[in-house]
Amino acid sequence: MAIRIWRRFGQFCSIPSNGVLSGLCNNNNANFKASSSFSSAFSSASPLPSSSSVDSRCLGFDLPGMKEYIEYRRSIYGDITHKAVLVDAVGTLVVPSQPMAQIYKTIGQKYGVKYSENEILNRYRWAYAQPWALSRLRYVNDGRPFWQFIVSSSTGCEDSQYFEELYHYYATDKAWHLCDPEADKAFQALRRAGVKVAVVSNFDTRLRPLLKALKCDHWFDAVAVSAEVEAEKPNPTIFLKACELLGVKPEEAVHVGDDRRNDLWGARDAGCDAWLWGSDVQSFKEVAERIGVKV
């Protein structure tokens, strides 16, 4: 049983990815679909019982080994099973408010963009999948060279004013909204309990002002963004940097994200625990209560 639990929830778990890369704006998640908005309706978890009577169903799960896994973590770390929570940005914390192709076309009409939304989407997918030859990272500093390539390839428009309007739009709260409307309560509870929280994201330097625009920057003790760390998920370096910023060991942290390759495999390679958003956990309340913090 111990081996099976470790393989299911621990570092050696290996689940093949069958997603298709189809980003919206800054979407590095292979399972996130560009043609529609990600649902922000999440189920609520029941209150957490005492550690002596933990039942996996109380946490919104009925997976084999869940109860044993929680008890295993608590036997090592106590009632609060993790000292830190790492959170993916796009697809987990935030999602675009409108489909990318719709925004590219709407803004682009005054700049002469003629492609349909389907054409823009298909061209975007092709461009995003191309090897990025200018550097080993897509997002370097503000990421402009990469996004200029994506925008011009998707729309056929190389007008600098069009690009700048799009680029700045995706740094505002008009472009994004929180996945979980109740997230604030969960993050407040985590911080009251002494659990450190960080964002870990493949993003450019717009991420910090975006979090501030969405009024959620104060939820986090640290932000590890690939453009600053100079490492992109699933590279373990970015997860290790986040742990360093929080002052915790990798095995004391759990990462929550919606991409198997970037989030689960990358975090586990770094030595962190990892849960898949939308599958292992459905809300940040569930994340908090699963590690032993009542919301």
Ordered structural domains, the chain, with CATH: 81-95+176-290 (3.40.50.1000), 98-169 (1.10.150)
Strand-strand pairing, 253-257 and 273-276: parallel
Q: Of all helices (H) and strands (E), which one includes residue 275?
A: strand 273-276
Closest residue by Cα to residue 228 from 241, 216, 215, 218:
241
Give 153-188 as a DSSP string. HHHS---HHHHHHHHHHTTSTTTEEES-TTHHHHHH
Block residue for tokens 């389907």: 118
Global pTM value: 0.78
φ, ψ of residue 192 to 5 degrees: the values are -60, -35
- pLDDT number for residue 63: 56
- pLDDT number for residue 44: 30
Which one has a higher pLDDT value, 109 or 73? 109
Distance of CA 17 to the CA centre of its chain: 16
- pLDDT number for residue 146: 95
Residue 251: CB partners within 8 Å, gap ≥ 6? 271, 272, 273
- pLDDT number for residue 40: 29
The mean pLDDT of 59-68, rounded to a whole number, is: 60
Question: Average pLDDT, whole number, for the chain?
Answer: 82
Closest residue by Cα to residue 229 from 204, 263, 192, 259:
204
Block residue for tokens 């760390």: 229
Closest residue by Cα to residue 70 from 280, 244, 295:
280
**CB of 59 closer than 8 Å to CB of 289:** yes
- pLDDT number for residue 69: 81
As to burial, measured by CB atoms within 10 angstroms (0-12 exposed, 13-18 middle, 19+ buried), residue 14 is exposed
Rounded Cα–Cα distance for residues 30 and 262 (Å): 9
Confidence class for position 33, pLDDT limits 50, 70, 90: very low
Closest residue by Cα to residue 82 from 231, 195, 212, 243:
195
Q: Of all helices (H) and strands (E), which one includes residue 225?
A: strand 222-225
Distance of CA 123 to the CA centre of its chain: 24
Q: Express each pLDDT in 181-222 by its tens digit.
A: 999 999 999 999 999 999 999 999 999 999 999 999 999 999
- pLDDT number for residue 170: 97
